[in-house]
A and B are shown apart, each in its own frame.
Chain A
Amino acid sequence: MRVLVTGAGGFLGRHVVRALHRRGHEVVALLRPAADIAAIEAVEAVEGVRVARADLRAPAGLAGALDGVHAVVHLAAAVSGDEDAQFAATVIGTERLLEAVAGSDVERFVLASSIAVYDWGSVDARLTEDSPTVQDVDALDRRGGYTVAKLWQERLTRRAAEQQGWELTILRPGFIWAAGREPLAGIGQTLGPLLLVLGPRRPLPITYVENCAERFAQAVDIPAAAGRTLNVIDPDTVSAWRFATEYLRRSRADGRCVPVPYRLGRAIAQLAGLTSRTAFGPGGRLPSILTLEHFEARFKPLDFPSERLRSVFRGPAPLTFAESLDLAYPRRADQR
C-alpha cells in the first residue's frame, strides 16, 4: 500500500518510515520545505521512499503528494513554540491535510495524538483508553497549548473520518524516548547537577521510539486497529527511579538522582497555587511545574495497562525495556 507519512523527518517519523518499509509499504515521506539535511538523508536512506516537500500550514502545498496514496500516517505537529504557534502548526495544519485527503483515495488514516489529552486530575489508579479527556474549556486553557492542539486535532480528524468515510486509528503515545530524548519532563525536574525524581516508585508511561514506530506501521494494515483509539505505552513497567538511574549510568551524564515524594511535590504545587490565588486572584500565573494540572499530568502515580494495545496488535512490543536500553546506549552495552 502507498502510505503518506507527515512529519516524516521528525524524531518518530524517521522510524515510522523505516517500519512501514519493513512491512512492505511504499512510503511517501512528507518533509517541510526547510527540513534539515539530516532529516532528508535519514528518510532518503530508506529504499524506495519518495520525498514530498510541503508545509501543512500553507494552502495548496499538498498537490500531488496524495496521488495513489491509500493510507496516511499523520505525525506532523509542533512540540514547541507558544500556544498560537502550536495551534497553527498542529491543528490548522491538520485541517489543511484533511481538506486534501477529502478528494483522494485514502482509506486508512492513523493519527498521532498523545496521552496529554487525558484529564489526569480525575483519573483514578489506572489510565486507560476509557479515561476521560479534558472537556472543560477553562481547564483546557490551563493545561496549555500542546493539550489544546492534540484534542482539537483528534476532534477534527474524527469528524472528517465520519464525513469522508475512511477508517481512523488514533494512537496516543506516552513519552516516546531514545538516547538523547530521555523523558526528563515526565521524570521530574533538573536542578543544576541534580535530577529530582518526582514520585520515584511510580510507573513511567514510556514507549521506546522503535516500539512506538512499529505500532504506527501496524495500525496502517492490521484490520483490528481500524476505528480504535489506543494508548501506546510499552508493556514493561519501568519506575521513574529506574529510568533515571539507568539513564544517568548508561549515558554517563554528570548528575545525581534525588527522590522527591509525589505528595511533597504536589503539596508544593498546591501551596504555590494558593499563594498565587491569594495574591493575584484567579488570573495569576505560575511556572508550569507549579500549576497543579500540569504537575498531575506529568507525575501522577498511575498504572498504564497495555492489554488493549496488545490485543489489537496481537503481541508485545518488539523490544523489551532491557533491549531498548541496550539499543539506545550501545557503547555502554559493548563494554559489558
Chain B
Amino acid sequence: MRAALIGAGRIARHHLACIRALPGVELAAVCDLSPVAAEVTAERSGARRWFTDHRAMLAEVAPDVVHVTAPPHVHYALASDALAAGSHVIVEKPAAADLDDVRRLLELAADSGRHLVENHNYLFNAPVLALRDLLRAGQLGDVVHVEVAMCLDILVEGSPFADRNLPHPALGLPGGAIADFLPHLASLAHVFVASHHTAHAVWRRHGAGPLVADEFRGLVDAEHGTAMLSFSANGRPDLFSVRVSGTRGRATAGLFEPRLVVERLRDVPRPLLPTINGLSEGRTAVGAAVGSLARKFRGGPGGYEGLWLLIERTYAAIAEGADPPVSPADIEAVHHLIADLTINAPEAA
C-alpha cells in the first residue's frame, strides 16, 4: 500500500515512524506548505517525493492512504480533498472544527467508499486495552461510571501553548487550549459508556495565566452509565487516567505512566478483601514504576503506542476489507459530545 502525509509538524514524526515500521506499506510522498519542512521530512522518513501543494500530490501520487497531520483548522479541507481523490484518510484529532463539518466528512467518506479514521490513539494504549479486556471478561461487572482525568501543565516553558510570539491555533477555539484535549477525553469516555444523552460542562479560569479557561469539568449521562471528564492546567503533578467503576470492581488505567490498577470483588473472606486488593495494587505499582523507567530507555513509540496500533489496525482493515478500528459512528458520537460540552465554553476576546 502507498501512504502519503500532509503536514510535517510534531505529530507527523510519530505517524511516519509507524509507517516506516509497517511491512507492505511504502511512504510515497510527504507534503507541507514549507518547502524545507517537506524536503527534510522526506529525507528523514525515506519518502520518495515531497510536495508543497497537496492537490498536486494527490493527483500525481494517488496514495491509498493519506495521513492528515497539519494544524487543526485545515483538517477538514485536506481530509475532504483526500477522500475526493479516492484515498482512505487517517486524520489527527479533531477531524474538523465543528460537528457539522465532521458529519460532512463522514458522509463524503461513505459516499466515496473510503475509510475516515480519526486519531483516537489513547483507546489503543496498553492499559486502556487491558481495561477494555477486563470489562469484556466480566471482571468488573457492568459499567456504572467512568472518570477521565487529565492534569497537564500546558503553560510550562517550551510548551506550544505558552509561545507568546506565535499563538497556538487552538487558543482561538471555544474553550481555548483545553479544547485541544477534548477529543482525547471524549473518546475515552465514549468507549466505556457509549453515546451520551445529556452533558453539562463547567469552564473555569483558576489561575491568572493567558488561557480563557484553565479548568474544565464535564458531567455526562450516557447509554451505559455516567462519565466525568476533567482537565486541569493547575493540578500537579501531571496525570492522565481513566477510572471505570463497575458493579463488581473498579479499575484505573494510567496513560502518562502506564499501569492498570484493579480493585474488585474476589472469592475470599470479606475481611481479607482490602488486603488482597492492596497487595495486588502494590505489585502493579512496583511493576509499573520499573516498566515506566525501562520505557524511557527503550525508545520506540513510548506514549504513542496507541497511535502505532491504531495506524497498524487501520491498514490491516483496509487490506482485508474489514471495519476500521474507529468507526464513523464513534467519530460522530465523540464530536456530538464535544459539541455539547463546549456550548458554554468561553472564547478568546
Tell whether, in the assembled complex, residue A280 and residue B13 are in contact, meaning their CB atoms are under 8 Å apart: no
Tell whether, in the assembled complex, residue A280 and residue B34 are in contact, meaning their CB atoms are under 8 Å apart: no
Tell whether, in the assembled complex, residue B160 and residue A85 are in contact, meaning their CB atoms are under 8 Å apart: yes
Mark out the residues of chain A between 136 and 150 whose CB falls within 8 Å of any chain B CB in the assembled complex. 137, 141, 148
Tell whether, in the assembled complex, residue A285 and residue B165 are in contact, meaning their CB atoms are under 8 Å apart: no
Contact of A34 among B37, B40, B164 (CB under 8 A): B164
Mark out the residues of chain B between 141 and 196 whose CB falls within 8 Å of any chain A CB in the assembled complex. 158, 160, 164-166
- From A76-84, A112-120, A196-204, A236-244, the one touching the partner chain is A76-84
- From B81-89, B242-250, B263-271, B293-301, the one touching the partner chain is B293-301
Residues in A with CB closer than 8 Å to B44 are 137, 141
Q: How far is the CA of A95 from the CA of B164 in the complex (A)?
A: 21
Q: How far is the CA of A334 from the CA of B36 in the complex (A)?
A: 51
Residues in B with CB closer than 8 Å to A285 are 296-299
User: Is A32 located at the chain interface by the 8 A CB criterion?
Assistant: yes
Residues in B with CB closer than 8 Å to A84 are 9-10, 13
Residues in B with CB closer than 8 Å to A280 are 297-299
Contact of B297 among A80, A91, A276 (CB under 8 A): A276
User: Is A92 located at the chain interface by the 8 A CB criterion?
Assistant: yes
- Binary per-residue interface labels of chain B (28-60) against chain A in the complex, 1 for a CB within 8 Å, 0 otherwise: 000000111100100110000000000000000
Tell whether, in the assembled complex, residue B165 and residue A55 are in contact, meaning their CB atoms are under 8 Å apart: yes
Interface size (A, Cβ < 8 Å)? 28
Tell whether, in the assembled complex, residue B158 and residue A81 are in contact, meaning their CB atoms are under 8 Å apart: yes
Residues in B with CB closer than 8 Å to A80 are 158
Give B39's nearest chain A residue, CB to CB: A152
Given contacts A84-B9, A156-B36, contact A283 B158 (CB under 8 A): no
Q: How far is the CA of A80 from the CA of B157 in the complex (A)?
A: 10
B229 vs chain A, min Cβ distance (A): 28
Q: Which of the four size classes fits the interface of chain B?
A: 20 to 34
Tell whether, in the assembled complex, residue B36 and residue A92 are in contact, meaning their CB atoms are under 8 Å apart: yes
Residues in A with CB closer than 8 Å to B37 are 87, 91-92
Tell whether, in the assembled complex, residue A284 and residue B36 are in contact, meaning their CB atoms are under 8 Å apart: no
Give A285's nearest chain B residue, CB to CB: B299
- Binary per-residue interface labels of chain A (98-117) against chain B in the complex, 1 for a CB within 8 Å, 0 otherwise: 00000000000000000000
Residues in A with CB closer than 8 Å to B34 are 92, 95
Q: How far is the CA of A283 from the CA of B160 in the complex (A)?
A: 27
Residues in B with CB closer than 8 Å to A88 are 9
Give B41's nearest chain A residue, CB to CB: A87
Tell whether, in the assembled complex, residue A57 and residue B299 are in contact, meaning their CB atoms are under 8 Å apart: no
Residues in A with CB closer than 8 Å to B298 are 280, 283-285
Tell whether, in the assembled complex, residue B164 and residue A283 are in contact, meaning their CB atoms are under 8 Å apart: no
Q: How far is the CA of A148 from the CA of B43 in the complex (A)?
A: 12
- Binary per-residue interface labels of chain B (267-297) against chain A in the complex, 1 for a CB within 8 Å, 0 otherwise: 0000000000000000000000000000011
Tell whether, in the assembled complex, residue B297 and residue A33 are in contact, meaning their CB atoms are under 8 Å apart: no
Given contacts A55-B165, A58-B166, A81-B158, contact A152 B299 (CB under 8 A): no
Tell whether, in the assembled complex, residue A85 and residue B158 are in contact, meaning their CB atoms are under 8 Å apart: yes
B256 vs chain A, min Cβ distance (A): 17
User: Is A37 located at the chain interface by the 8 A CB criterion?
Assistant: no
User: Is A248 located at the chain interface by the 8 A CB criterion?
Assistant: no
Residues in B with CB closer than 8 Å to A33 are 164-165
Residues in A with CB closer than 8 Å to B299 are 280, 283-285
A71 vs chain B, min Cβ distance (A): 23
Give B10's nearest chain A residue, CB to CB: A84
- Binary per-residue interface labels of chain A (141-179) against chain B in the complex, 1 for a CB within 8 Å, 0 otherwise: 100000010001000100000000000000000000000
Given contacts A80-B158, A87-B37, A92-B37, contact A284 B297 (CB under 8 A): yes
Residues in A with CB closer than 8 Å to B9 are 84, 88
A251 vs chain B, min Cβ distance (A): 24
Tell whether, in the assembled complex, residue B165 and residue A32 are in contact, meaning their CB atoms are under 8 Å apart: yes
Q: How far is the CA of A279 from the CA of B9 in the complex (A)?
A: 31
- B44, B166, B298: most-surrounded residue (chain A CB, <10 A): B166
Residues in B with CB closer than 8 Å to A57 are 165-166
Residues in A with CB closer than 8 Å to B300 are 283
B277 vs chain A, min Cβ distance (A): 33
B348 vs chain A, min Cβ distance (A): 16
Q: How far is the CA of A164 from the CA of B10 in the complex (A)?
A: 31
Contact of A82 among B43, B158, B164, B165 (CB under 8 A): B158
Residues in B with CB closer than 8 Å to A286 are 297
- Binary per-residue interface labels of chain A (277-298) against chain B in the complex, 1 for a CB within 8 Å, 0 otherwise: 0011001111000000000000
Tell whether, in the assembled complex, residue A152 and residue B164 are in contact, meaning their CB atoms are under 8 Å apart: no
Q: How far is the CA of A115 from the CA of B43 in the complex (A)?
A: 23
- Binary per-residue interface labels of chain A (40-60) against chain B in the complex, 1 for a CB within 8 Å, 0 otherwise: 000000000000000101100
Tell whether, in the assembled complex, residue B296 and residue A91 are in contact, meaning their CB atoms are under 8 Å apart: no
Give B17's nearest chain A residue, CB to CB: A283
In the complex, 28 of the A-B residue pairs with CB atoms within 8 angstroms, ordered by the A residue number, are A33-B164, A33-B165, A34-B165, A57-B165, A80-B158, A81-B158, A84-B10, A85-B10, A85-B158, A87-B37, A87-B40, A88-B9, A91-B36, A91-B37, A91-B40, A92-B34, A92-B36, A95-B34, A95-B36, A137-B43, A137-B44, A148-B40, A152-B36, A279-B297, A280-B299, A283-B299, A284-B297, A285-B298
Beyond the given A34-B164, A87-B40, please list 9 additional residue pairs across the A-B interface where CB-CB is below 8 A. Answer: A55-B165, A87-B37, A92-B34, A141-B44, A276-B297, A283-B300, A285-B296, A285-B297, A286-B297
The 3 closest A-B pairs by CB, nearest first: A34-B164, A283-B299, A55-B165
